[in-house]
Chains A and B, each alone.
Chain A
Amino acid sequence: MRHLPLADPGSPDLRSPARYLLWTGRQQWRTLLVGVAFGVTWMVAQALVPAAIGRGLQAGVAEKDLEAAARWSLVVFGLAAVQAVFGVLRHRVAVDNWLQASFRAMQLLGRHSAEVGVAIRRRLPTGEVVSAATNDALHIGSAFDVTARFAGAVVSYVVVAVILLRSSVLLGLVVLLGAPAMVLLLGPLLRPLQRRQHAQREVAGKLTALGADTVAGLRVLRGIGGEPAFLERYRNRSAELQRAGVRVASPQATLDSAQVLLPGVFLVLVTWLSARLALEGAIDVGDVVAFYGYAFFLVIPIRTAVEAADKVTRSLVGARRIVAVLTTEPEIRDTAEPAAEPPTGSTLSDARSGLTVASGTLTALVSADPDESAAVAHRLGRLSDDAGVTLGGTRLMDLPIAAVRRRVLVSEADPRLFTGVLRDELDPWADAAHARGDADLVSALHVAAAEDVLDSLPDGLDEEVDEAGRGFSGGQRQRMALARVLVADPEVLVLVEPTSAVDAHTELLVAARLRAARHDDGRRTTVITTASPLLLDRCDDVAYLVGGRVVARGRHRDLLAQNPGYRQTVTRGEDR
């Protein structure tokens, strides 16, 4: 079996869903071929069983010949053994095919989401991306899984048709024309079923979302009441899903009974014709049983063909969604010819706001509208491209993204924590060669005034952080995220409202410790957007923005004394 996940999922052909599927097939053509070989052997062995039974009944039972009966029963068993061996080999290869195709899609989606997530989220809700990466990827896998069985179905159908043709042209023609006719008749029955199943899945998806949403907001709900209203809503939707499910029942029952009727008609026809042939003496009793057996067996290839058609259709639909995610372009990208990196200690400046940040300073950005200062912060760290942002005179746009991220780190307003062991989450840049020691992590937590959070964790740094850090309170999350960027210890650190969710006591601690930790040697630069006097009082330099432009600069206390607008912003409109 192919080792998965793949070291490199490759670069897919994204021109169309069909081309994506063909590309996927090309990547695993060997496995596909082996599967086909096994599938054909397996199914042909299965197709020959009725012949052996018929011979056994004729030569053994009818002739009362025990030796012949034993011989033919050994043949039956031998065919079963071939079927068992090749059946499982076929299954293993089919699973391999399925896994390769789905994992390749899952990997491609995973990588693309990690790299271009911001742009993807602008186009699609998270749920849709996740659904593409699971349901759709698995549908694609199913289409490749069915190839081996489909090949077996086609070949065994031809084998049975040839055997019958040799006994009777009429019987042979019944099989040769009847089987494809049945596939064509069953196919259309699938469509209304799929339509209703699709409708059912939509309703089911919404209901699951509603249930999950209610549960996610349970704390809020329980704090205020409103459970009866929610239960009512859920019940209504649940009843709707039940109705959608019942609507699926009729087409499903129709398909199931058609799968009884159509092969049944075939069976009756073949049995009737072969009984007449036997009466004429053209064939013997064993042949009649064998032909009945063939007709019975042919149900399997017919179902397989219908299934294959269905799976290919589904995988095309899935591929369309996957291609939609994979064709999302990143919002910022590296230039073809990156500029040389400016030396450390260069000045960072943003032409649009008129802000310059001298190396080594602790600078604050204050704005009555926090979005304005956040926008400046994002530009400074190249989270959005702007030609006016320079580091040491070089445009950030011309520098490699990796270099910008290494030197200028932005911690946005609502930084996310990720699931994992706390130690790894605090130092996500760690690799075998560079991992911070626990002492560094603890000291970063100290600066972020988050030691109490650490103390409250039974396993300390080995504690498993919940999904998105849900187990922490907002203030705790914020301090953990602050500790994380402090661990990175970048040349320039841009903090957007780093203490908006912590109490005044703690904010004061953070302000003092941040200054001590990053500004004792003048080599690091920190930019903070905030309106908190506790933080502002500790900054070297405060830039006051109005309408996105710097209108005043100086120390907090001076601005407080001289600029009424500034005073109003930081004292929350309170003139004392």
Chain B
Amino acid sequence: MSRRTLPVATSTQVRRQVKVLLARHRRPLVGMLVLNGFAALAGLAGPRLLGEMVESLRAGTTRGHLDRLAVLLALALVAQTVLTWFARRAGFVVAETVFADLREGFLTRVLSLPLSTVERAGTGDLVTRSTGDVEALARTVRFAVPEVLVATVTVALTVVAAFVTGPLVALPLLAGAPLIAIGTRWYLRRAPAGYLREREAYAQYNGTLAETVDGARTVEALGLAGRRTARIEGDLARAHDAERYTLRLRTIWFPTMELAYAVPVTLSLVWGTWLVAGGHATLGQVTAVTLYAVQVVDPVDRLISWLDEVQVGATALSRILGVELVPDDRVASDERPADEHVVVEDVRFAYREGRDVLRGIDLDLRPGERLAVVGPSGAGKSTLGRLLAGVHPPRTGRVTVGGVPLVDLPLDDLRRHVVLVTQEHHVFVGSVAENLLLARPAATEDALRAALSAVDALAWVLALPDGLATEVGSGGRPLSPAQAQQLALARIVLADPHTLVLDEATSLLDPRSARHLEHSLAAVLHGRTVVAIAHRLHTAHDADRVAVVEDGLVSELGSHDELVASGGAYAALWDSWSSDPSASPVH
């Protein structure tokens, strides 16, 4: 079992992709920022008008003037309200569009990953990326990025407004910046790793719990409740450690920020007094700037408190984009197969360097024959099956159809020649019909029924509450493993390739049904080349030829009768299996 995880994009690659993404949605993004800028501008009228009020109160004024200022304040408020509405709405709409773009791009890439990568990396890592990382990114794209952009615009405009009010008066506004910069830098260096650790701990807790509920039968049968509880609480203890770490970071960061926010207000009172005393500023200017210093705290706080979320999002994005970095394992050539003849020539293959699983296999599949592959576990049967289906390119030698190496065929083309069905049964979320249609999207209902009937499944499918339209898969009607396997077989009937590799494709059916199914399948498969990797000897018995694979080599090849007559390993196994009392026991 080699667990090669999928690549992760570097920060440079992430930045490049983000730029591409932003460029693709430039117009709505710019529109949203402009709207937010106007909303922020309207919000800046308050301190300015209050300064005006204070100044005129000191200088002596009339009721009418004050009322006019109040009306202006009210108008600014109305403008801010309306602009905020449009700005926020635009923000959400852009975010939804960008996020849809990202997740669809991700799934598109996942669906075209090289077959060998999918087989090797397993699905765990990919599932995590398609759920946890996509969700983390949703939060970043929907909230963090818009908040950060909007807050940046607001902060910038507030500072500009303060300087426009009085350049000298506004100077203290910058006094808090160094402390904010240092504190935030310190925090951001540590926080994302901490939050990632939190997320991982909770994800692990999720996984452990899901596994416990899914495997409830095993937990009960083996009396493992106590152990599962301990495991769950161990995960929670790790989550708690992670929480405490980030809490420690915030314990230092939060007060630093609060004090930094207070510095400009504190200074502007003293500085303002000095300026006003020297005749360099008015009370109104000082009032406005002091209130700007109070008012700017909220957007600055929002800006920096969303920054760590942006970083978490960047990490998620690097894992999502990482999928794009998987190199293709084949380059399709223009060659087209001359016929349907599949040949294996001196094939060697290793999953790990220096450990050949196949050590020089030659096999000539006669078009239309049924070849059974038997042999002990670990001998390389399934690996041979994968090479026969063009999943992996061989290390040396070649597997060809009609003279063209399988791995030189475009994928769509490849599947029209060879299809692999394994014992892995997965019922997709959707209706029974949808589960079948993926093999041939244009198939008619009659074709679906015919395929189901070929695998003995029509009766039970029609007995389902909604027949072919019954929702199955996770969250739908549960199917037994045997039923799932029948659906998988019905798919190949629809896919209609000339060569089929069945890797223990009937192993989950009970023996009698398996036998019966294989008989019905035989009719459908007639005329096709079938390679059946089997652990039930009756499959071998029914085949035209049997290949015994041992230790990465074909040790025996011939018809059932020939092999039984030759008295080799297959013969011994057969005797024991068929319980012929005259046979000698095998060890």
B73 and A253 form a contact (CB under 8 A): no
Q: Which 4 residue pairs are nearest across A and B when measured between Cβ atoms?
A: A117-B216, A226-B438, A80-B262, A503-B535
Quick one: given A5-B240, A214-B428, are A500 and B66 in contact (CB under 8 Å)?
A: no
Kindly identify which residue among A111, A369, A485, A504 contacts B577, using a CB–CB cutoff of 8 Å: A504
Q: What are 7 inter-chain pairs, A to B, with CB distance below 8 A?
A: A5-B233, A81-B262, A218-B123, A257-B82, A260-B43, A504-B536, A573-B512
Interface string of A52-64 (1 = CB under 8 A from B): 0100110011101
Give Cα A53 to B135, complex, Å.
Answer: 44
B126 and A215 form a contact (CB under 8 A): yes
B86 and A117 form a contact (CB under 8 A): no
Q: Is B562 an interface residue (CB 8 A)?
A: no
Q: Is B527 an interface residue (CB 8 A)?
A: no
Distance between B180 CB and nearest chain A CB, rounded to angstroms: 13
Interface string of B94-107 (1 = CB under 8 A from A): 01110110011001
Residues of B within 8 A of A537 (CB): 576, 579
Residues of A within 8 A of B142 (CB): 245
Q: Is A12 an interface residue (CB 8 A)?
A: no
Distance between A389 CB and nearest chain B CB, rounded to angstroms: 15
A76 and B50 form a contact (CB under 8 A): no
Which stretch of A145-153, A349-357, A404-412 is in the interface?
Answer: A404-412
9 new A-B contacts at CB < 8 Å, known A215-B126, A467-B124, A502-B377: A129-B210, A219-B118, A219-B426, A220-B426, A226-B439, A256-B85, A292-B46, A402-B223, A501-B423
A69 and B104 form a contact (CB under 8 A): no
Kindly identify which residue among B243, B294, B421, B573 contacts A95, using a CB–CB cutoff of 8 Å: B243
Quick one: given A229-B438, A503-B374, are A253 and B89 in contact (CB under 8 Å)?
A: yes
A238 and B488 form a contact (CB under 8 A): no
Q: Is B342 an interface residue (CB 8 A)?
A: no
Kindly identify which residue among B43, B82, B111, B492 contacts A214, using a CB–CB cutoff of 8 Å: B111
Quick one: given A467-B124, A508-B573, A574-B515, are A412 and B221 in contact (CB under 8 Å)?
A: yes
Residues of B within 8 A of A264 (CB): 77, 80-81
Give Cα A231 to B63, complex, Å.
Answer: 68
Kindly identify which residue among B218, B237, B381, B534 contacts A5, using a CB–CB cutoff of 8 Å: B237
Which stretch of B185-193, B282-290, B306-314, B448-456 is in the interface?
Answer: B282-290
Q: Is B462 an interface residue (CB 8 A)?
A: no
Quick one: given A107-B233, A402-B223, are A92 and B218 in contact (CB under 8 Å)?
A: no
B1 and A457 form a contact (CB under 8 A): yes
Interface string of B1-44 (1 = CB under 8 A from A): 11100000000000000000000000000000000000000010
Which stretch of B51-59, B329-337, B400-408 is in the interface?
Answer: B51-59
Interface string of B504-543 (1 = CB under 8 A from A): 1001101110111000000000000000001111100000
Total B residues in contact with A, Cβ cutoff 8 Å: 178
Quick one: given A218-B123, A261-B81, are A224 and B421 in contact (CB under 8 Å)?
A: yes
Give Cα A230 to B382, complex, Å.
Answer: 27
A126 and B376 form a contact (CB under 8 A): no
Interface string of B384-412 (1 = CB under 8 A from A): 00000101000000000000000000011
For chain A, the bracket of interface size reads 35 or more
Kindly identify which residue among B85, B213, B262 contacts A130, using a CB–CB cutoff of 8 Å: B213
Within 8 A of A (CB), among B59-110: 61, 63, 66-67, 69-70, 73-74, 77-78, 80-82, 84-89, 92-93, 95-97, 99-100, 103-104, 107-108, 110
B377 and A257 form a contact (CB under 8 A): no
Which stretch of B153-161, B264-272, B362-370 is in the interface?
Answer: B264-272
Kindly identify which residue among A246, A276, A288, A414 contacts B96, using a CB–CB cutoff of 8 Å: A246
Quick one: given A80-B261, A533-B577, are A428 and B222 in contact (CB under 8 Å)?
A: yes
Quick one: given A213-B428, A253-B86, are A121 and B213 in contact (CB under 8 Å)?
A: yes
Closest to B290 in A: A53
Distance between B357 CB and nearest chain A CB, rounded to angstroms: 9
B270 and A73 form a contact (CB under 8 A): yes
Q: Is A171 an interface residue (CB 8 A)?
A: no
Q: Is A165 an interface residue (CB 8 A)?
A: no
Q: Chain B: interface secondary structure?
A: helix
Distance between A43 CB and nearest chain B CB, rounded to angstroms: 13
B273 and A65 form a contact (CB under 8 A): yes
Which stretch of A176-184, A267-275, A309-317, A338-346 is in the interface?
Answer: A267-275
B244 and A242 form a contact (CB under 8 A): no
A405 and B223 form a contact (CB under 8 A): yes
Distance between A167 CB and nearest chain B CB, rounded to angstroms: 15
A76 and B218 form a contact (CB under 8 A): no
B211 and A419 form a contact (CB under 8 A): yes
A77 and B507 form a contact (CB under 8 A): no
Quick one: given A61-B276, A64-B273, A216-B123, are A572 and B514 in contact (CB under 8 Å)?
A: yes
Give Cα A81 to B118, complex, Å.
Answer: 56
Closest to A244 in B: B96
Kindly identify which residue among B57, B233, B240 contacts A275, using a CB–CB cutoff of 8 Å: B57
Give Cα A440 to B536, complex, Å.
Answer: 30
A224 and B213 form a contact (CB under 8 A): no
Give Cα A574 to B355, complex, Å.
Answer: 41
Kindly identify which residue among A249, A267, A272, A381 contacts B88, using a CB–CB cutoff of 8 Å: A249
Kindly identify which residue among A49, A60, A458, A504 contacts B270, using a CB–CB cutoff of 8 Å: A60
Point out which of A85, A246, A428 has the most chain B C-beta atoms below 10 A from its C-beta.
Answer: A428
B222 and A485 form a contact (CB under 8 A): yes
Q: Is B166 an interface residue (CB 8 A)?
A: no
Residues of B within 8 A of A503 (CB): 374-377, 381, 534-535
Quick one: given A242-B100, A253-B85, are A500 and B508 in contact (CB under 8 Å)?
A: yes
Closest to B494 in A: A224
Residues of A within 8 A of B130 (CB): 208, 211-212, 214-215
Q: Is A19 an interface residue (CB 8 A)?
A: no
Quick one: given A209-B475, A214-B428, A272-B70, are A250 and B89 in contact (CB under 8 Å)?
A: yes
Residues of B within 8 A of A73 (CB): 265-267, 269-270
A110 and B209 form a contact (CB under 8 A): yes
Quick one: given A114-B228, A405-B223, are A246 and B273 in contact (CB under 8 Å)?
A: no
B88 and A252 form a contact (CB under 8 A): yes
Interface string of A409-423 (1 = CB under 8 A from B): 111101110111000
Interface string of A295-324 (1 = CB under 8 A from B): 010000000000000000000000000000
Kindly identify which residue among B50, B215, B254, B441 contacts A91, using a CB–CB cutoff of 8 Å: B254
A466 and B122 form a contact (CB under 8 A): yes
B221 and A381 form a contact (CB under 8 A): yes
Quick one: given A4-B236, A412-B218, are A272 and B212 in contact (CB under 8 Å)?
A: no
Give Cα A215 to B428, complex, Å.
Answer: 10
Q: Is B173 an interface residue (CB 8 A)?
A: no
Residues of A within 8 A of B473 (CB): 213
Residues of B within 8 A of A254 (CB): 85
Q: Is B350 an interface residue (CB 8 A)?
A: no
Closest to A560 in B: B579
Q: Is A166 an interface residue (CB 8 A)?
A: no
Q: Is B112 an interface residue (CB 8 A)?
A: yes
B429 and A213 form a contact (CB under 8 A): yes
A76 and B255 form a contact (CB under 8 A): no
A1 and B244 form a contact (CB under 8 A): yes
Q: Is A225 an interface residue (CB 8 A)?
A: yes
Residues of B within 8 A of A56 (CB): 269
Residues of A within 8 A of B269 (CB): 53, 56-57, 60-61, 69, 72-73, 76
A99 and B538 form a contact (CB under 8 A): no
A224 and B126 form a contact (CB under 8 A): no
Q: Is B259 an interface residue (CB 8 A)?
A: yes
Residues of A within 8 A of B381 (CB): 503
Residues of B within 8 A of A80 (CB): 258-259, 261-262, 265-266
A471 and B122 form a contact (CB under 8 A): yes
Q: Is A476 an interface residue (CB 8 A)?
A: yes
A467 and B229 form a contact (CB under 8 A): no
Quick one: given A225-B415, A467-B211, are A106 and B236 in contact (CB under 8 Å)?
A: yes
Q: Is A239 an interface residue (CB 8 A)?
A: yes
Distance between B499 CB and nearest chain A CB, rounded to angstroms: 13
A289 and B573 form a contact (CB under 8 A): no
Q: Is A113 an interface residue (CB 8 A)?
A: yes
